[in-house]
Amino acid sequence: MTDQITIRTAVDDDVPQLAELYNHYIRTSPATFDTEPHSVEAKRAWFSKYSDSGPYRVMVAVEPDGRIVGHSYSSALYPKAAYDSSVATSVYLLPGEVRRGLGTRLWHALYDELVKVDDLHQLFALITLPNDASVAMTERVGYTLSGVWKECGRKFGQYWDVGIWQRPLRP
Ligand SMILES: CC(C)(COP(=O)(O)OP(=O)(O)OC[C@H]1O[C@@H](n2cnc3c(N)ncnc32)[C@H](O)[C@@H]1OP(=O)(O)O)[C@@H](O)C(=O)NCCC(=O)NCCS
């Protein structure tokens, strides 16, 4: 039941489960443009860039027995200093946990942290197309489509379009 699920800031001990969750999508889906599964060590290096303050955050949805069923996170939009007023937001659930409101809850939990960050201005969501669930959830929480990068990524032997959705942090 989703009402038994707790959403909280991720901690170091969550890293192995986060690696497993995300590796599922690396292996099976164009939703992420990573192509090689992350070792737990590599995921720890990724997680070391996150904290419980500032613009880069990871939130996890946890069942009472400690099983992580989803996460949301913010990341740099582009590695140049002037982009630091923007972040990209992402949500990934375990495959069996979709379409019962959990993605929306995880996004709101992330938003509640980001809105406390003074320097942030715009939130972006980069969605490999098609992805009806991600588009629906993203528009549900106030992002609008601002453009499409045509065939910008190649995975599983084919090119993929990426839609760019955005919303102001504080409307
Ligand atoms: C994308 C994802 C995070 C959405 O989370 P979710 O818990 O499934 O979505 P929610 O239940 O919160 O639904 C949010 C809205 O999207 C709609 N929606 C969800 N799945 C949908 C689907 N497959 N098709 C159409 N609409 C869908 C819901 O009806 C809801 O709209 P409503 O409130 O107007 O009824 C989740 O499906 C997921 O993890 N997918 C796999 C990983 C992925 O692709 N991540 C995104 C990478 S860009």
Give the start-to-end residue ranges of the domains of the chain.
2-120
Predicted TM-score (pTM) above 0.95:
yes
- Model confidence pLDDT, tens digit, residues 62-71: 999 999 999 9
Q: Which two tokens stand for residue 115?
A: 């809105």
Sole residue written with tokens 């980001």: 114
pLDDT of amino acid 24: 98
Query: Rounded CA gap, 171 and 168, in Å?
Result: 5
- Model confidence pLDDT, tens digit, residues 80-105: 999 999 999 999 999 999 999 999 99
Q: Which two tokens stand for residue 118?
A: 């003074």
- The verdict on the CB of residue 92 being under 6 Å from ligand 1 is yes
* pLDDT confidence tier of residue 171, bands split at 50, 70 and 90: confident
Considering only CA atoms, give the Rg of the chain: 15
Cβ atoms within 10 Å of 106's Cβ, excluding its own: 26
- Model confidence pLDDT, tens digit, residues 4-26: 999 999 999 999 999 999 999 99
CATH of region 2-120, choose from 3.40.50.620, 3.40.630.30, 3.40.190.10, 2.30.110.10: 3.40.630.30
Query: Is the pLDDT assigned to residue 106 strictly greater than 60?
Result: yes
With beta carbons less than 8 A apart as the criterion, state whether 60 and 68 touch: yes
**Ligand 1 atom, smallest distance to 32 CA:** 47
Residues 6+ apart with CB under 8 A from 57: 9, 50, 51, 73, 74, 110, 113, 114
Phi, psi of 108 (to 5 degrees): -65, -40
Q: Whose CA is nearest to atom 43 of ligand 1?
A: 92
Q: Whose CA is nearest to atom 10 of ligand 1?
A: 101
Torsion angle in degrees (nearest 10) through CA of 98, 104, 106, 110: 150
Mean of pLDDT values over 19-41: 98
Beta strand residue intervals within 81-135, DSSP E: 86-93, 122-129
